[in-house]
Amino acid sequence: MLDKQLLDILVCPSCRAKVELKERAEGDGEGIDGWLACTGCDLIYPIRNGIPVMLIDEAKKKTAEAAQ
């Protein structure tokens, strides 16, 4: 669903570390295909309709997700 090459060039806008693909989790909203988890900080970015949304405003805390 997501181009591996695209994944290689994407970096976290918060800390500029690389991101890795995560599966869609239960309870995710409509149109969420999965998440891109930052390897440097605790933020995860949604993939909406195949488009990675690399915006800090749209990101969630990885710890918050795990608590659900």
Kindly state the number of chain residues that form the binding site for Zn ion, as judged by CB under 5 A: 7
C-alpha triplet 45, 22, 46: angle, nearest 5°: 25
* CA–CA separation, 21 and 4 (whole Å): 10
Which range in 1-9, 21-29, 39-47, 51-59 contacts Zn ion by CB under 5 A? 39-47
> Which of 2, 11, 21, 41 lies at the binding interface for Zn ion (CB under 5 A)?
41
* Among 7, 66, 11, 68, CA closest to 39: 11
> Which of 3, 31, 40, 51 lies at the binding interface for Zn ion (CB under 5 A)?
40
The site for Zn ion (CB under 5 A) is made up of: 12, 14-15, 17, 38, 40-41
